[in-house]
Structure 1
């Protein structure tokens, strides 16, 4: 029996025979891999693995540093583990809740029988640094699911126990150990605490913020950018979840299994309907003071279109006449689209829009004169005119929907008091458990994969391959303007990932194992397994989720 195995390292494009059982961490030195920043994990046969992964068969390996999204997730996940242990060590009987990403960091709060202020936070930070300096290994333990559930229950971690015992098709589960502290994370961890070279924890809006390295320049911390409106929306939805007794995904799965999901869907849909009615009421009140334009923005797959249609219905109820247009119809011809820094067509750029035509037509409409709307043909990449006429009158309000709607340059010649700005995004508030939040970007990516496959004929591989470019565009063209909004609308529903699962899985399973995008497809498939299925028949035809899953009573 041979004691070596052949490994192909893509970073150096070398093949070497290495000792059977070598870890990926050891092979960094064997291959002499150099990366600009900290190497946090690797792709093994296009599947993301921890650096503690051992090779026993021929493999293709590609190392990634923390400028890569998967590696940064590994870093942040490991840092959250250290934070949780530090809280456990310094504040007996306390529990840390890591809720969501905000202000370029991760918002958390600590529930304790003593008041947790800046002094206590500094003690936690000091303990985190001690754990990092001690170079404690993150150890993965795999056991039968019943044993892992029992262990978590014995340690008072009911959220993790419920998540695992209600997830589908799990015979075994892995939990992690950091010294004498156990926890559960659904992705890779670093080999040891000493890898965590950069972090901070600071007081933030009644809770605390875990500050992490900047992904573009990981030798520096992310700047803390105030996002008061975003935090407010999260807090409102977390309060709604607590009232609904749905703190985490385990609670949602339990509700599905006990036939209570219909009620949850009805309440969730009613909650959104009430928010839309409140927004329509405020627009109506401001209309009487001169408001004429409503601008709706948000990142990809945030549900802007259905939100706009539901808002228009509500405005009709309020005896206004909404006139809706989409910025997508103002794209310049595809061959004229500007390029990004990577030489790729930047469809997210503001300058992919014909700004002159848009502004001229807006002003014409506000003067109550008729226009002919353009239409963009996504197949040919060309603008067309199809005799679509539009005009406003004294009771009309113009609704503009598109990713750039909150960018001041788009409507710079329209007075601020005539504009009402709405930011729409899927701000996923339900968490897997107390330490594992669900990134809104994952929620939106799953929506987009399903929609692109159903309506645009794109494969999951196509959508995943463009996602990094989309995200870069959002960081540059959308997120900087979200706090300009008069109101933020959360389009994410408590139940939606359980409903998306049966639509997303077949599409993700078609991604070939031999392509680069398989790594992300595999990660999303693993993630979806935490959710029990919900049948489509439970969703009303006006649900915002129907924009992606099909069966909507709205025309798109």
Structure 2
């Protein structure tokens, strides 16, 4: 069979059999907490733990302290949720939509409106699947087979995606009797997904799981009602534009309708900015400062310029102040727990100078 050499992140070098799986390598290295390892990096490429090593490699094992592992953990939980919901409510369809409250928000469509008791039943079934350590099998099947599965499950969004695949086959995952397609890696089995909470959040659910700072527990719940309303509006608008999923967006591109879709979206954005400007103008005696917040590169500066134009149309003379001009020198920037600069912290800004300019 031959031998290969593996170098771990801590510098340890190991000789092992060529063709050894990452799972078997983990078992040979660690006696406890083997399932804390979610994924591996082999020569800096993400590899599932069922993958094998065929040459000398540098290997790093990732736990929930990494963002990559957390995404894979969430993907596995989503699969368990999909199977559980389909078993509790045969014929239902499940949509995992977006992040919310340090988890994932989604909806379940069935003949009756979803309620708290339904969520409790699904949670119980999820826990059983996890306790049984149901394996996730990666399979390569024909597009025709995949289409049959997705049609049977009512997953029309994935049926649309298949039209644009250039290959004759597709990689899917199987858990129990359920097949599904996921864009990304997966844990070997459901037993890796020990920590989760499933809660009713009208009209759907929130699936919560550990973050990089609370690896063995669920982070503190923080309700984000305004953010949810924004997501909700975006979802409804996507349905109006008939681009509620990637497959539908591909259809628009293929049919040459993207130009119209972009123009309509821009018109909606401008209309909303004009409405904000009108609200500010109507309350100009009370409003002296307008604050625009958002993460890095989210479009705050662009938005402020467009809002300024609408305010000028209303006869006001706004002055834009960009916080990009107030960041402290790098040696004074606060650090995250992992030692990286925290540019999202308010302490990364020269607050004294900002107040002087205000």
Settle same-fold status: TM greater than 0.5. Answer: yes
Match status 1:223 vs 2:220 = yes
Q: Are the equivalent residues in 1 in contact too, given 2:95–2:108 (CA < 8 A)? A: yes
Structure 1 residue 113 displacement after superposition: 0.8
| Counterpart in the other structure of 1:192 | 189
| Counterpart in the other structure of 1:246 | 243
Unaligned runs of 5+ in 2: none
Equivalent residue of 2:242, what SS? coil
**The one of 105, 108, 116 aligned to 2:106:** 108
d(CA) in 2 for partners of 1:246, 1:39: 37
Structure 1 residue 146 displacement after superposition: 5.0
Match status 1:316 vs 2:306 = no
d(CA) in 1 for partners of 2:334, 2:217: 30
Q: Are the equivalent residues in 1 in contact too, given 2:96–2:106 (CA < 8 A)? A: yes
Structure 1 residue 355 displacement after superposition: 1.8
| Counterpart in the other structure of 1:547 | none
Structure 1 residue 37 displacement after superposition: 8.0
d(CA) in 1 for partners of 2:31, 2:45: 19
d(CA) in 1 for partners of 2:259, 2:61: 45
d(CA) in 2 for partners of 1:158, 1:347: 41
Q: Are the equivalent residues in 1 in contact too, given 2:4–2:54 (CA < 8 A)? A: no
Q: Are the equivalent residues in 2 in contact too, given 1:41–1:48 (CA < 8 A)? A: yes
* Structure 1 residues 105-145: Cα deviation after superposition (integer angstroms, max 9, x where no partner): 11111110123211221111111111111111100011344
d(CA) in 2 for partners of 1:98, 1:205: 14
Equivalent residue of 2:283, what SS? helix
With over 3 angstroms needed to count, the CA separation of the structure-2 counterparts of 1:333 and 1:113, relative to structure 1, is: closer
d(CA) in 2 for partners of 1:201, 1:340: 29
d(CA) in 2 for partners of 1:141, 1:222: 34
- Whose relative contact order is higher, 1 or 2, with alpha carbons under 8 Å and at least 6 apart? 1
d(CA) in 2 for partners of 1:344, 1:59: 27
d(CA) in 1 for partners of 2:327, 2:303: 21
d(CA) in 2 for partners of 1:37, 1:284: 58
Q: Are the equivalent residues in 2 in contact too, given 1:84–1:96 (CA < 8 A)? A: yes
| Counterpart in the other structure of 1:129 | 127
Give the aligned length.
Answer: 358
Q: Are the equivalent residues in 1 in contact too, given 2:142–2:170 (CA < 8 A)? A: yes
With over 3 angstroms needed to count, the CA separation of the structure-2 counterparts of 1:182 and 1:334, relative to structure 1, is: closer
Structure 1 residue 261 displacement after superposition: 1.0
Structure 1 residue 45 displacement after superposition: 1.5
| Counterpart in the other structure of 1:85 | 83
**The one of 245, 263, 275 aligned to 1:266:** 263
Give runs of aligned pairs for residues 369-518 of structure 1, distance below 5 A.
none
d(CA) in 2 for partners of 1:129, 1:334: 46
| Counterpart in the other structure of 2:39 | 41
Unaligned runs of 5+ in 1: 363-556
d(CA) in 1 for partners of 2:31, 2:299: 43
**The one of 318, 325, 344 aligned to 1:329:** 325
**The one of 266, 286, 290 aligned to 2:286:** 290
Q: Are the equivalent residues in 2 in contact too, given 1:138–1:190 (CA < 8 A)? A: yes
Q: Are the equivalent residues in 1 in contact too, given 2:198–2:207 (CA < 8 A)? A: yes
Tell me the TM-score normalized by structure 2. 0.93
With over 3 angstroms needed to count, the CA separation of the structure-2 counterparts of 1:273 and 1:35, relative to structure 1, is: farther
Match status 1:300 vs 2:296 = yes
d(CA) in 1 for partners of 2:149, 2:329: 59
With over 3 angstroms needed to count, the CA separation of the structure-2 counterparts of 1:227 and 1:267, relative to structure 1, is: same
**The one of 325, 346, 352 aligned to 2:348:** 352
Structure 1 residue 218 displacement after superposition: 1.3
d(CA) in 1 for partners of 2:291, 2:60: 44
With over 3 angstroms needed to count, the CA separation of the structure-2 counterparts of 1:245 and 1:29, relative to structure 1, is: same
| Counterpart in the other structure of 1:66 | 64
Structure 1 residue 158 displacement after superposition: 2.2
| Counterpart in the other structure of 1:412 | none
Equivalent residue of 1:173, what SS? strand
What's the RMSD between the two structures over aligned residues?
Answer: 2.2
Equivalent residue of 1:8, what SS? strand
Q: Are the equivalent residues in 1 in contact too, given 2:136–2:175 (CA < 8 A)? A: yes
Q: Are the equivalent residues in 2 in contact too, given 1:37–1:66 (CA < 8 A)? A: no
d(CA) in 2 for partners of 1:13, 1:334: 31
| Counterpart in the other structure of 1:50 | 48
Structure 1 residue 172 displacement after superposition: 3.6
Structure 1 residue 7 displacement after superposition: 3.6
